[in-house]
Amino acid sequence: MATVDERLDAEQVRRDDRTHVFHSWSAQDAIDPLPVAGAEGSWFWDYDGNRYLDFSSQLVNLNIGHQHPRLIAAIQEAAGRLCTIAPPFANADRSEAARLIAEVAPGDLDRVFFTNGGAEATENAIRLARLHTGRHKVLTTYRSYHGATAGAITLTGDPRRWPSEPAMAGVVKFWGPYPYRSAFHAADELEESVRAVQHLADVLMVEGAHTVAAIVLESVVGTNGILVPPPGYLQGVRDLCDEHGIVMICDEVMSGFGRCGEWFAVDHWNVTPDLICFAKGVNSGYVPLGGVIISRTIAETFNERPYPGGLTYSGHPLACAAAVASIQAFKDEGIIEHARMLGTDVIAPALADLAARHRCVGEVRGLGVFWAIELVRNRETREPLVPYNAAGEAAAPMNEVVGACKAKGVWPFAHFNRVHVVPPCNTPVDDVRTGLAAIDEALNVADRYYTD
């Protein structure tokens, strides 16, 4: 164990947390956050020495793992040089981070507007699109998450949006592709792709394509199911955007920076959006950072005309120094290639094996280190192990599966009726196998809910 926080004991950490920390997305009395004493690579541990394999990459942001020495050194050196400098100045760490991000971004996306995280990236992408087009409507998918600020939560398709409604005007939802639970009654991936594009074309027709500023979608949907777009879908969206002068915004906050075994998920399909939102994996959240990568055409809109948006900490030097170190480490250590190999050689065959042996597995899908195991009560009906947005007693079967993983020392990412397999991109093969073995055992719990 490289680092243990010894300033306080676990009880005091817990007491102060319970008394003074107001936690996100939670009923405060219903939670008991685990005090974490330290972490390294793909592992973290508590004050009692219990070690957990981080199979959720925290909130699927820890693409480079915990405590990478190059990021620690870069942050320490940057802190010694210049801890903060306001956005109106040019700064070496910020400039270099922007250049490196532009270099790995597709097509002519070569300007970066920095934010502190993903939601602010969404907000600014919408603002850029609306000002660039002079239109107001934004289209986005039902099964999606784009952040928790006012505009971003309106774009969000999942139930986290409900308590914030009514929200920003001018946002219209459509169905994205999801072959396993097709909204279009498609028989296969190709049909799903064609029908999902046609559905979007129909939505544009009835909304008035000339009123639409942007179509926003997660290139590969993350929390809402690891929904990998079928072949042709993203190109179909690109074509519709081109036809109607609509800005294509790909939210790669979760899918970017190696998660899908490429720098960006869109690289799989050679599609270049007009704007890419990023955050999380850009520096694994060592210091908060996000942003929008902007096409040359959209950037030029603001050559003479001021861009009306900004943040005090936009392009913070410590965050940017961490991003520079992370991108360089990704290149030097072959982390993209490793993530890709984990997907094809380790996770895909292991999940196929799980699906063959556990009746509760309805479908496995994903790429790179971005996978979902979808659990059902019956394979014919595809009834999910727990209902959509289940809570309390209704969510008990999934809570049992999660508990079984944790009892085996694996910290999983679970959402609705799915367990996601989302370790850091540089997790060693043996650790990935360890995590998959724990999930294998945990699925016995879900099998007990199966009904013929």
Ligand X SMILES: Cc1ncc(COP(=O)(O)O)c(C=O)c1O
- Interface residues toward ligand X, by CB under 6 A: 59, 117-119, 122, 145-147, 218, 222-223, 251, 253-254, 279, 290
Q: How far is the CB of 116 from ligand X (least distance, A)?
A: 8
Q: How far is the CB of 328 from ligand X (least distance, A)?
A: 23
The DSSP-derived string for 332-354 is HTTHHHHHHHIIIIIIHHHHHHH
One-letter identity of residue 32:
D
Nearer to ligand X by C-beta: 265 or 436? 265
Q: How far is the CB of 343 from ligand X (least distance, A)?
A: 19
One-letter identity of residue 9:
D
Nearer to ligand X by C-beta: 247 or 354? 247
Nearest to 260 by CA among 404, 166, 366: 366
Q: How far is the CB of 194 from ligand X (least distance, A)?
A: 25
Nearer to ligand X by C-beta: 145 or 178? 145
Task: List residues bridging with 413 in a β-sheet.
Answer: 420
Judged by DSSP in three states, 368 sits in: coil
> Beta-carbon neighbour count of residue 353 at 10 Å?
13
Q: How far is the CB of 15 from ligand X (least distance, A)?
A: 27
Q: How far is the CB of 306 from ligand X (least distance, A)?
A: 25
Nearer to ligand X by C-beta: 312 or 451? 312
Length of the chain (residues): 452
Q: How far is the CB of 215 from ligand X (least distance, A)?
A: 15
> Beta-carbon neighbour count of residue 242 at 10 Å?
11
Nearer to ligand X by C-beta: 192 or 218? 218
Quote the DSSP letter at residue 25.
Answer: T
Q: How far is the CB of 25 from ligand X (least distance, A)?
A: 11
| Residue of closest CB approach to ligand X | 118
- At residue 432's C-alpha, the angle toward residues 426 and 434, to 5°, is 145
Q: How far is the CB of 213 from ligand X (least distance, A)?
A: 18
Q: How far is the CB of 222 from ligand X (least distance, A)?
A: 5
The H-or-E segment that residue 428 falls in is: none
Nearer to ligand X by C-beta: 93 or 251? 251
Task: Give the CA diameter of the chain.
Answer: 66
State how far the Cα of 224 lies from the Cα of 210, in Å rounded to an integer.
Answer: 29
Half-sphere exposure of residue 102: CA atoms within 13 angstroms, side-chain side:
17
Asked whether the beta carbons of 204 and 239 are under 8 A apart, the reply is: no
One-letter identity of residue 97:
A
One-letter identity of residue 398:
M
The H-or-E segment that residue 188 falls in is: none
Which sign, positive or negative, has the C-alpha torsion 58, 61, 62, 67?
negative
Nearer to ligand X by C-beta: 118 or 362? 118
State how far the Cα of 356 lies from the Cα of 291, in Å rounded to an integer.
Answer: 41
Nearer to ligand X by C-beta: 123 or 431? 123
Nearer to ligand X by C-beta: 176 or 397? 176
Which sign, positive or negative, has the C-alpha torsion 136, 139, 142, 143?
negative
Asked whether the beta carbons of 231 and 190 are under 8 A apart, the reply is: yes
Nearer to ligand X by C-beta: 118 or 230? 118
